[in-house]
Amino acid sequence: MRQGSKTALTIAVALLVAVALPYVVTNDYLFHLIIMAVIWSILATSLNLVLGYTGLLSLAHGAFFGLGAYTSALLVTKCDWNFWVTIPPSMLVAAAGGILIGVLTLRLEGHYFAVSTMSFGIVVSLILEKWDDLTEGPRGISSIPAPTPIPLFGLGHLTFESDTAKYYLALAILAICLLFVWRMIHSPIGRALEAIRQNELLASCLGVDLIYYKLLAFSFSAAMAGLAGVIYSTYITYLNPVDAGLWNGFYAVMYIVIGGMGTFLGPLVGTLFLVTVPEILRVFQDYRLLLLGALLILTITFLPDGIVGGLKRLRQRRTVGAMPPR
Amino acid sequence: MVGSIYALIAMGVAMIYGVMNVPHFALGAKAMLGGYVAFFMTAFFHQAYGLALVGSIVVLAFLGLGVERWIFRPLAKAPGINSFISAFGLLLVFENFALIAFGTAYRRILSPYDRQMIHIFGANLTMQRLLVVIIAIVLMVALHLFIKYTALGTAIRAVAQNRRGALLCGIHTERIAGITMAIGSGLAGVAGALIGPLAMVYPTMGDTLIVKAFVITILGGMGSIIGAIIGGYILGLIEALGAMYVSVDYKDAFAFAVLVLVLAVRPQGLFGKSQR
Amino acid sequence: MSTTGLMVELETVTKAFGGLRAVRDVTFSVGRGEIFSVIGPNGSGKSTLFNLISGVLPATSGSIRVLGRDIRKLRSHQVSRIGVGRTFQTTQVFADKTVLENAMVGRHLRVKTGLWQAQARTGFFRAEEARHRERSMEILDIVGLRDHADRRAGQVPNALQQRVAIAMALANEPELLLLDEPTGGLMEQEVLDLMALLRRIRDRGVTIMLIEHKMRLVRQVSDRIAVLNNGSLICEGGPDTVLNDERVVEAYLGTVDASST
């Protein structure tokens, strides 16, 4: 059980650090970055479900993110809904988008699929931009309020106005999503998804209904991306069609690839690394995307498992050497 | 006319996919680079547009060789997604390089043909537009002849049909891949140079181009050059008609609307393999 | 269930790829509990036949019934659900997963837990997972891979990788098992081991269809044999009848299989 308790310890430490963070970090801007990293991590984790584990390169996740963000923002600002109540419909709208796109594209082979998802993503973006009456078009939605205070019986309210409170909210959502993905992966469904990623023919001959499982992963992934969008909208308090565009999804792809496709922590590591480090290296601001692109090429060519995958293999090599032969 | 541009790029995508099984997502960016090459050449050589066209083909062809050798060849054995991701990274590199090196300003390529008007069937066209169509057609025909009647062209077809078989016949598949890439890139480059005078040259001009080119190849079958050509022109037509009758605003959306419709009816694309 | 008790019934089955007819008008049946071999020179359509029976490819014409069900409109995962397991000529396993994990994936059709039970980690879920693990280990026992359960499938010696593939196919507890050249790359002793394994599997009530080139194996292990040449069935029956039939000998003339004596 030593491995198990080591993991438990690491998780405990990580949680402790995460919870203590707002009190340790004094720089406002850095804190903002960290919150953004958490939100992007939720998006990356959702994308990892389809990209890392099922092997589907979806370029539409930016659109799902946007659908979730816009649904929540619109319901809160225009219909005066309680923030928390907007979460299920926002996730549903995103999931509906996922199912719609999935049904149309999942029968296509890899490359066709990727480009088709992107096309649909573009359509969604365009609609969000042009449908002025509903979405305020390019002007965007502003003054999105913080999450509605939750009444605590007898003890006043739990408010979310401060950045710290929003940070904890984002963190909590991230934790829930991670738990969801973990439990899904370590179950027969997860095994089926990974089988699809590695060898579709073999998987289907073992009884795995490819379309069904791809659709399943895709719709849950879309819902989760929508959830990330909801948190984003309430934190940034201002939304415009660009935010709902595809670039967030593209970034998420890059974070996952560099962090480690198909690994559990990959998306987290990648996001954290790539959101914070470039800001620290402010000097290269202009070159940021250029370097990111180059890093992407290098990573996928020489280190396809990403950072986390590379570390894993390093560890495996060490333990194999240390273990006595059977 | 726009259809010609789409067709050229789609052809590049189709060729490269057919031979190398790589969806070259950065081809639109290469068109953009071709545009810039032409821009600089016309600026430097005082409007020698023809020279600029040739220049764009040549420079991009070499770039294509390099990309094949350094970017795609190492990934030949990896899963398909990896090449796509790499191409995406390449797109970022190209675009941002252009952004940094050339700035965001829209540049207009000065072509002597832009100001000449000709009258055909009662319509007024700038010579440039006609030139685009003519050159595109010339290139298509040339390519067709090349592929059908030369030894190299046959070798390319062989590799596209059956890579291993071609290898066993002694065809140097890697060199073929490089040549195909060079041709595809050259086509993209000249497309950028051709559209430059009309639509201006700027770093992100490749984005919509490549997405539409891909949509065309999905509809026409990803390895099919004919499909790419036909698809390109059809799309150009749809967009022109759509802009006139429906709305200019949504012009870009037509490609995708068509895609949605086609996919809803025939999930494997127009010319795709039927699974069942 | 099949009304006739037959596992596989092929009637004038043809598979054409454009102009090329890989399988022509083939008719035969396989009975329950048999070890049925399909032999023939290279390119005679054997693997295509397996692809038809397992639902990987649709037949161009003719009828195919597997365990009594007409499978013409079914996809491969649906045929698998009827009770068919198969291996491939080029051994397909999940190389990055352990041998045990490979077997557990194979049990896909036997899984009764859903998404929400997996999320809630209910008692039922845990019990089922433990049961799957146990059954997978049992299957590894049958194929003789228990000691390798925790090794990555890609790192297991070639001869054993084929067994991993067989274990995966068996994990769903199929009634019909299709093995495509399971002795590819195996040495003498390993072939004998495989023969014993085949008999063990058959004794557990699984019907086996085999594509093979090693004639000694075919002769010793088969109950009945079908011979294909150029996509057509040229002979069918018991080993002695078929292997001495002059049409069969003629089909193989010029094809010298070193290990067939």
Chains linked to B by 3 or more Cβ pairs within 8 Å: A, C
Residue C253 predicted with pLDDT over 70: no
Band (A133; pLDDT cuts 50, 70, 90): confident
Chains linked to C by 3 or more Cβ pairs within 8 Å: A, B
pLDDT at residue C1, as a whole number: 45
pLDDT at residue C231, as a whole number: 86
Question: Which residue from A111, A115, A287 is facing B100, i.e. has the nearest CB?
Answer: A287
- What are the residue boundaries of the structural domains of chain C, listed by start? 6-93+172-252
Look up tokens 């070890």; give the residue. Answer: C35
A27-36, A132-141, B31-40, C191-200: which range is least confident on average? A132-141
Residue B272 predicted with pLDDT over 60: no
3-state secondary structure of C24: strand
Tell me the nearest-neighbour CA distance from C118 into chain A, angstroms.
Answer: 6
Indicate the number of domains in chain B. Answer: 1
DSSP assignment of C61-72 equals EEEEEETTEE-T
Mean pLDDT over each residue of chain C, to the nearest integer: 86
Distance CA C77, CA A122 (A): 34
Residue A323 predicted with pLDDT over 70: no
pLDDT at residue B45, as a whole number: 66
Residue B170 predicted with pLDDT over 90: no
H runs (alpha helix) in B45-126:
49-67, 80-102
List CB contacts of C20: < 8 A, sequence separation 6 or more.
none
Mean pLDDT confidence for B181-186: 83
From residue A171, give the alpha-carbon distance in Å to each of A21, A39, A42, A57, A175. 11, 8, 9, 26, 6
A39-48, B15-24, B115-124: which range is least confident on average? B115-124
* Residue C193: alpha-carbon gap to chain centroid: 17
Q: CB contact, 8 Å: A281 with chain B?
A: no
Chains linked to A by 3 or more Cβ pairs within 8 Å: B, C
Band (B274; pLDDT cuts 50, 70, 90): very low
Band (A281; pLDDT cuts 50, 70, 90): low
Element (H, E) at C26: strand C20-31
Q: Is residue B219 part of a domain?
A: no
pTM, rounded to two decimals? 0.86
The ipTM, to two decimals, is: 0.87
Mean pLDDT confidence for B36-51: 71
| Torsion sign across C-alpha atoms C72, C78, C80, C86 | positive
pLDDT at residue B120, as a whole number: 60
Tell me the nearest-neighbour CA distance from B51 into chain A, angstroms.
Answer: 30
Mean pLDDT confidence for A114-134: 81
Band (B257; pLDDT cuts 50, 70, 90): confident
Beta strand segments in A150-193, E: 150-152, 156-158
Query: pLDDT: is A209 or B46 the higher one?
Result: A209
Encode pLDDT of A223-269 as tens digits. Answer: 999 999 999 988 888 888 887 788 888 889 999 998 888 888 889 88
Encode pLDDT of A24-38 as tens digits. Answer: 877 888 888 889 999
Q: CB contact, 8 Å: A202 with chain C?
A: yes
From the list B138, B131, B119, B144, the residue with the least C-alpha distance to B52 is: B131
Query: pLDDT: is B22 or C167 the higher one?
Result: C167
What DSSP character marks residue C152? B
Burial B87-124 (b: 16+ CB within 10 A, else e): bbbbbbbbbbbbbeebeeeebebbbebbeeeeeeeeee
Residue A9 predicted with pLDDT over 60: yes
Neighbouring CB atoms inside 10 A of A36's CB total: 18
Encode pLDDT of A177-217 as tens digits. Answer: 999 999 999 999 999 999 999 888 999 999 899 999 999 99
Tell me the nearest-neighbour CA distance from A257 into chain B, angstroms.
Answer: 9
Mean pLDDT confidence for C52-73: 89
Give me the percent of chain B exceeding a pLDDT of 90.
Answer: 0
Q: Which domain holds residue B182?
A: 2-206
List CB contacts of B28: < 8 A, sequence separation 6 or more.
B9, B91, B188, B205, B206, B207, B208, B209, B210, B211, B213
Residue B1 predicted with pLDDT over 70: no
Band (A222; pLDDT cuts 50, 70, 90): very high
Q: Is residue B254 part of a domain?
A: no
Distance CA A59, CA A214 (A): 15
Residue A284 predicted with pLDDT over 70: no
Interface of B with A in 84-123 (CB under 8 A): 84-86, 88-93, 95-97, 100
pLDDT at residue B266, as a whole number: 63
pLDDT at residue C258, as a whole number: 47
CATH H superfamily, domain C6-93+172-252: P-loop containing nucleotide triphosphate hydrolases (3.40.50.300)
pLDDT at residue B220, as a whole number: 72
| Tokens matching residue A145 | 């309020």
Tell me the nearest-neighbour CA distance from C59 into chain B, angstroms.
Answer: 10
Distance CA A69, CA B13 (A): 35
* Residue B111: alpha-carbon gap to chain centroid: 21
Residue C16 predicted with pLDDT over 90: no
Counting beta carbons within 10 angstroms of the beta carbon of residue B275, is it exposed (0 to 12), middle (13 to 18) or buried (19 or more)? Answer: exposed
Encode pLDDT of A296-318 as tens digits. Answer: 888 888 888 888 888 888 877 77
Q: CB contact, 8 Å: A316 with chain C?
A: no
Q: CB contact, 8 Å: B261 with chain A?
A: no
Residues of C in contact with B276 (CB under 8 A): 58, 73, 75
The residue of chain B with its CA nearest to that of C59 is B276
Tell me the nearest-neighbour CA distance from C25 into chain A, angstroms.
Answer: 25
Mean pLDDT over each residue of chain B, to the nearest integer: 74
Q: CB contact, 8 Å: B276 with chain C?
A: yes
pLDDT at residue A173, as a whole number: 93
pLDDT at residue A216, as a whole number: 93
Q: Is residue B250 part of a domain?
A: no
Mean pLDDT confidence for C16-20: 82
A133-147, C27-41, C246-260: which range is least confident on average? C246-260
